[in-house]
Structure 1
Amino acid sequence: MQDRLVTMFGGGGFLGRYVAQDLLKAGLRIRIAERNPGDAFFIKPMGGLGQTQFVSADITKPETLPRALEGADAAINFVGILKGDFRKVHADGARNAAEAAKAAGVRDFVQISSIGASPDAQSLYSRTKAMGEEAVRAALPDAIIMRPSVVFGPEDGFLNRFASLARMAPLMVPVMRPNTKFQPVYVADVADAVAKVLQNPAEYRGRTFELGGPQVMSMREINGFILKAIGKPDKPIFQVPDALGSTMARFGFLPGAPISWDQWLSLQSDNVVADDAEGFEALGITPRPLAAVADKWLVQYKSQGRFANQALDDA
């Protein structure tokens, strides 16, 4: 185990840093492959001397990948974007990484995808995620696919964004597509799943896992939870009419527009684990609910921060 080296494309990102920590604790060596490796240097103190390496690599540039995979036993592709050239990153980039891994003799490959990835999806994001899965499996049939729902954690761009909007909204909180359902999953639980399959890859090769938290929540329910967590449970939620929401999304390039058109298309479908999918249970992991962990960082959005309850008591 301690001799195994795992190359992590995009390993310095939101999910990657948690997976890196788990792999280092398990005694594996990791190689963080980033366009700007210096951005991930904060990971180095998580492991022992010589346990973490850094290399410059870009999955959209195949010529940069062989050096990142030299001597590796496994690889993970975390790279994803929310706007930009989805096909170049999600599809072509995933293909480049998998084909380079195959050429380097790396058998075990984990592709981080997303729930909703489908060639028939409305959003280009989800369609290209499906294309990436297909490309990876074409090069490496034993690749392991991980499809998380919306991932939350201290550094996320999901709960934090809504909490910030909820705090600033003067009278009410506008919510688009309030009935769309999600299965928010804690970043540390997803990291546990990725680390587990890499510690015993022979058991999981060729399988796809859909990773959702223990609660299915609508967009309205998620915003209601956030309002309660930040001490504003009485602030009303306003349902943005679809006609207005689609117009705002269509002009998403404008400053202040809440979502892009592709994100609007994603909101037309629920983002939950399929009934017949393998998930956390197959990995022996019990995911944590939102309420069990989110207060730890949502407290920063309270009017008096961590002293909010004390301030009320003193009053």
Structure 2
Amino acid sequence: MASNLETLVTVFGGSGFLGRNVVRALCKRDYRVRVAVRRPELAGYLQPSGKVGQVHVVQANLRYPASVEAALRDSDVVINLVGILTESGKQSFDAVQAKGAETVAKAAAAVGARLVHVSAIGADAESPSRYAKAKAAGEAAVLAAVPSATIFRPSVMFGPEDQFTNRFAALARMSPVLPLIGGETKMQPVYVGDVATAIADAVDGKAKAGATYELGGPEVLTMREIIEAILEITARKPTLVPLPFGLARFQANFLQFAPGAFKLTPDQVTLLQRDNVVSDAAKAAGLTLEGLGITADSLEAIAPQYLWRFRAAGQFQRMSI
């Protein structure tokens, strides 16, 4: 049996939040990893994820098919993690998550590589959200080009470098008042390390070909419960002010141009109107983390390991029992 070192896995979007965890997981399993990113000079921090020479970073942009084809040369497995939360210039949802996904899938088909594609729970061609609509279009294009592709749809992901728990913790540190949008919307936060394990399992051949998996954590929580958990971990006590969707969308027309943690787009408000949880159909079919034999870590177990930095006295702050 050939060793994993003879298997070349090309990861598109390997320098992002999920990407760095996937690269680390693949390196632990001794795969050769080629990371395809728009700015390779900014991805040097990925090198220590593996042994000397195990990780190779190349340039590729999903909007340029020739660069994707070049990055895929001699690949055995292709993983597409590229996705954006907000649009900027030519990096639109459609260009990146629909047409970009199609470009990767067609190039993978051309070299006969297996394909793992990461989408999102909520991907829906009928969704009023342009993000969710583009994710669904990407899935359809992937399966049209590579019917044997494995698709993963994670719920909202958390972990040390996330733009979710860190964002609310940062806002709570800066403001005595925290607007609560979609307080009753249900989520199933999933630890990024568990999603990376699932993807590495798929590379190992443990996932079903042509199947769509939905990945959620062990708990279904409302948006209010998630934010309250973050506030408890960080020992912050801002006042939570529920914001109706109409007013939130109005504010988002201005906040979409705001920097960092204050940024909020109208499309994100639309996404918050719909629950983001693993479907009963996926559970029944075993197309979940549990179905892959992965025991999911909870927000409560993982988040304190990195959110302590938002406490007034950091890691040394005494917490009430």
- Give me the TM-score of the superposition, normalised by structure 1: 0.94
Q: Is the contact between residue 309 and residue 315 of structure 2 (CA under 8 Å) also seen in structure 1? A: yes
What is the CA–CA distance in structure 2 between the aligned matches of 1:97 and 1:129, rounded to whole Å?
Answer: 14
Question: How far off its partner does 1:254 sit?
Answer: 4.0
What is the CA–CA distance in structure 1 between the aligned matches of 2:136 and 2:238, rounded to whole Å?
Answer: 39
What is the CA–CA distance in structure 2 between the aligned matches of 1:195 and 1:179, rounded to whole Å?
Answer: 34
Q: Is the contact between residue 251 and residue 261 of structure 1 (CA under 8 Å) also seen in structure 2? A: no
Q: Is the contact between residue 6 and residue 28 of structure 1 (CA under 8 Å) also seen in structure 2? A: yes
What is the CA–CA distance in structure 1 between the aligned matches of 2:45 and 2:30, rounded to whole Å?
Answer: 18
The correspondence of residues 71-90 of structure 1 with structure 2, limited to 5 A, is 71-84=74-87, 85-90=92-97
Question: How far off its partner does 1:251 sit?
Answer: 3.2
**Residue 287 (1) aligns with residue 291 (2):** no
Q: Tell me, what secondary structure is at the counterpart of 1:2? A: helix
What is the CA–CA distance in structure 1 between the aligned matches of 2:46 and 2:249, rounded to whole Å?
Answer: 40
* Percent sequence identity over aligned pairs: 44
From 134, 139, 149, give the equivalent of 2:140: 134
Aligned length: 308
Q: Is the contact between residue 257 and residue 263 of structure 2 (CA under 8 Å) also seen in structure 1? A: no
Question: How far off its partner does 1:258 sit?
Answer: 4.3
Question: How far off its partner does 1:252 sit?
Answer: 3.5
Q: Which amino acid is 2:209 matched to?
A: R
Equivalent in the alignment of 1:93: 100
Q: Is the contact between residue 69 and residue 107 of structure 2 (CA under 8 Å) also seen in structure 1? A: yes
What is the CA–CA distance in structure 1 between the aligned matches of 2:69 and 2:77, rounded to whole Å?
Answer: 13
From 285, 296, 301, give the equivalent of 2:310: 301
Q: Tell me, what secondary structure is at the counterpart of 2:105? A: helix
Equivalent in the alignment of 1:169: 175
Q: Which amino acid is 1:119 matched to?
A: A
Residue segments in structure 2 that go unaligned for 5+ positions in a row: none
Question: How far off its partner does 1:245 sit?
Answer: 1.3
Equivalent in the alignment of 2:159: 153
Question: How far off its partner does 1:200 sit?
Answer: 1.6
What is the CA–CA distance in structure 1 between the aligned matches of 2:201 and 2:245, rounded to whole Å?
Answer: 42
The correspondence of residues 16-55 of structure 1 with structure 2, limited to 5 A, is 16-55=19-58
**Residue 210 (1) aligns with residue 214 (2):** yes
Question: How far off its partner does 1:285 sit?
Answer: 0.2
Residue segments in structure 1 that go unaligned for 5+ positions in a row: none
Deviations 1:270-304 (A, max 9, x none): 01110111111110001000010100111000001
Deviations 1:107-131 (A, max 9, x none): x101110000010111000000000
- Give me the TM-score of the superposition, normalised by structure 2: 0.92
The correspondence of residues 107-256 of structure 1 with structure 2, limited to 5 A, is 108-170=114-176, 172-200=177-205, 203-232=207-236, 234-255=237-258
Q: In angstroms, what is the RMSD of aligned CA positions?
A: 1.6
Equivalent in the alignment of 1:13: 16
Q: Which amino acid is 2:106 matched to?
A: E
Deviations 1:228-270 (A, max 9, x none): 11113x5432111333212112334343664101111101100
What is the CA–CA distance in structure 2 between the aligned matches of 1:39 and 1:52, rounded to whole Å?
Answer: 14
From 92, 110, 114, give the equivalent of 1:103: 110
Q: Which amino acid is 1:34 matched to?
A: V
Q: Is the contact between residue 248 and residue 258 of structure 1 (CA under 8 Å) also seen in structure 2? A: no
Deviations 1:97-149 (A, max 9, x none): 1101111221x101110000010111000000000000011000000100000
Question: How far off its partner does 1:66 sit?
Answer: 1.8
**Residue 276 (1) aligns with residue 278 (2):** no
